[in-house]
Amino acid sequence: MRLELQDLTVRRGTRVTVDRASLSAGPGEFIGLIGPNGAGKTSLMRAALGLIAASGSSSLTALPPARRALAAAWLPQTREAAWPVTAEALIRLGRIPHARPDADPAHIEAAMARMGITHLRARPVTELSGGEQARVLIARALAQDTPILMADEPIAGLDPAHQIGAMATFRTLADEGRLVIASLHDLGLAARHCTRLVLMDQGRIAADGPPAKVLTPALLAQVFGVQGYFAETPEGPVFQPLRLTAP
């Protein structure tokens, strides 16, 4: 399933948070949505999912809500788990859009195995650490088993091992034929794991392409105000931000 955004525009009062964003993405891609705070990354994804009003078109909002929930899973940035339900029960919520939510426990087991949280299954989520909660919530989105997965800063607050683990999982999902879009602030991990980067700046899509084409000195200075080191190594692309550009 492809995601097509055409001139998507979001207005919040008089401010334009997303400005005529167009994007076409398909199976097999792991897109890192990068940009400074307030660039419009979250708004772009929420508008694409039809969670906020927007002008322009999104191939997802064209679907009725029940079909949309089978097409795309959404992992919000705020990690909410209101009640002390067990991790397994929380992950099972991802099956709600499906005709028979309890019919296929395999998806729940697979999601838990992918995120390495099978040992937490019987623990109340409210008693887990922040990082463990984050992984349980990612597993919930995986259990929804949709061709498209959108995640808002899914790896923020995870330890390095689990950051790499989550990024590798997203890449595996893409390699299996899904489309994964995640907003990220760690440009190094984005460069290394994503197949494509979309750089947003002040509501607009400023650059779109493979990591080497997006993380250029000129764009980094212009959008983030930083200088960095980028190299293609035998290990894959490596990026490290180094210093602020002179004001």
Partner 1 sequence: MKVLLPLSALCALLMLASLLIGPAGAGLGGSLAALWSGEGALGLVMREIRAPRAVLGLLVGASLGLSGAAMQGYLRNPLAEPGLIGVSASAALGAVIALQTGFATAFVLALPIAALAGAVLAVGLILIMAGPGGGSLALILAGVAISALAGALTSLVLNLSPNPFAANEIVFWMMGSLADRSWLHVAIAAPFMAAGAAMLWGAGRGLDALTLGEDAAASLGIDLPRLRLRLVLGVAAMVGAATAVAGAIGFVGLVVPHLLRGAVGARPGRLLAASALGGAALVLAADIAVRLILPGRDLKLGVVMALIGAPVFLHLIWRQRRGR
Can you tell me the distance from the alpha carbon of 46 to that of 60, in angstroms, rounded to the nearest whole number? 11
Instruction: Select from 81-89, 153-161, 190-198, 199-207 the region that touches partner 1 (CB under 8 A).
Output: 81-89
Out of 13, 66, 243, 247, which residue is the one contacting partner 1 (CB under 8 A)?
Answer: 66
Indicate the residue among 46 and 178 with the shorter CB distance to partner 1. 46
Provide the 3-class DSSP secondary structure of residue 234.
coil
Residue 177 neighbours by CB distance under 10 Å: 11
Indicate the residue among 60 and 167 with the shorter CB distance to partner 1. 60
Instruction: Select from 87-95, 157-165, 214-222, 224-232 the region that touches partner 1 (CB under 8 A).
Output: 87-95
Query: In the bound complex, what is the minimum distance in angstroms from residue 242's beta carbon to partner 1?
Result: 36
- Alpha-carbon radius of gyration of the chain: 18
Provide the 3-class DSSP secondary structure of residue 233.
strand
Indicate the residue among 105 and 217 with the shorter CB distance to partner 1. 105
Out of 16, 85, 164, 212, which residue is the one contacting partner 1 (CB under 8 A)?
Answer: 85
Asked whether position 156 contacts partner 1 by CB under 8 A, the answer is no
Asked whether position 68 contacts partner 1 by CB under 8 A, the answer is yes
Residue 238 exposed, middle or buried by CB count within 10 Å (0-12, 13-18, 19+)? middle
Tell me the backbone φ, ψ of residue 88, rounded to 5 degrees: -65, -45
Can you tell me the distance from the alpha carbon of 96 to that of 94, in angstroms, rounded to the nearest whole number? 6
Asked whether position 135 contacts partner 1 by CB under 8 A, the answer is no
18-47 binders of partner 1 (CB under 8 A): 46
Query: In the bound complex, what is the minimum distance in angstroms from residue 82's beta carbon to partner 1?
Result: 4
Asked whether position 89 contacts partner 1 by CB under 8 A, the answer is yes
Asked whether position 62 contacts partner 1 by CB under 8 A, the answer is no
Can you tell me the distance from the alpha carbon of 71 to that of 146, in angstroms, rounded to the nearest whole number? 5
Element housing 43 (H / E): helix 41-48
Q: What is the residue whose two structure tokens read 């307030």?
A: 38
Residue 126 exposed, middle or buried by CB count within 10 Å (0-12, 13-18, 19+)? exposed
Chain residues binding partner 1 by CB under 8 A are 46, 49, 51, 65-66, 68-70, 72-76, 78, 80-86, 89-90, 93-94, 96-97, 124, 137, 140, 144
